Structure 1
Amino acid sequence: MTKTVAIIGATGLQGGGVLNSLYDTGKYKIRALTRNPSGEPAKLLLMKYPGIEVAAADLDDTESLRKAFKDIDI
């Protein structure tokens, strides 16, 4: 079974690097976490990395984190 990975800050420099590396392996489902999933940076991720999921997550909002990490393996 393919594991699902959550990447915090996927639209940023470090998170984007992690996303790129994991995506290239083809071994994982990826949930890219960002404060604004409807923003331009998130839309660009969806175009660059077909098949990933983009979800809202704010480190200052516990409920958003619960939702973002639901069913995450790694």
Structure 2
Amino acid sequence: MTIIIEFCVNNTCFGTHEVVKKIQQTYDCEVYEYGCLTNCGVCYMVPYVLVDGEHVEAETPALLYERVVQKIEELPR
């Protein structure tokens, strides 16, 4: 099962793209970069991504990475 990671290009100021690149090196996943994911309130405040459609956010990119890995590990295989 391929994992789908989605992120907003407007959120890259938080380092989201680096988190996604790091995830891609470890997990079999498809990454989609969008101009907007219509989560502007969150996007403006913290780094976040969607993992198989589920919202994952954190205060820092390092913590986002940890939470995304945790979410991926929880997914059924």
TM-score normalized by the length of structure 2:
0.37
More helix by share: 2
TM-score normalized by the length of structure 1:
0.38
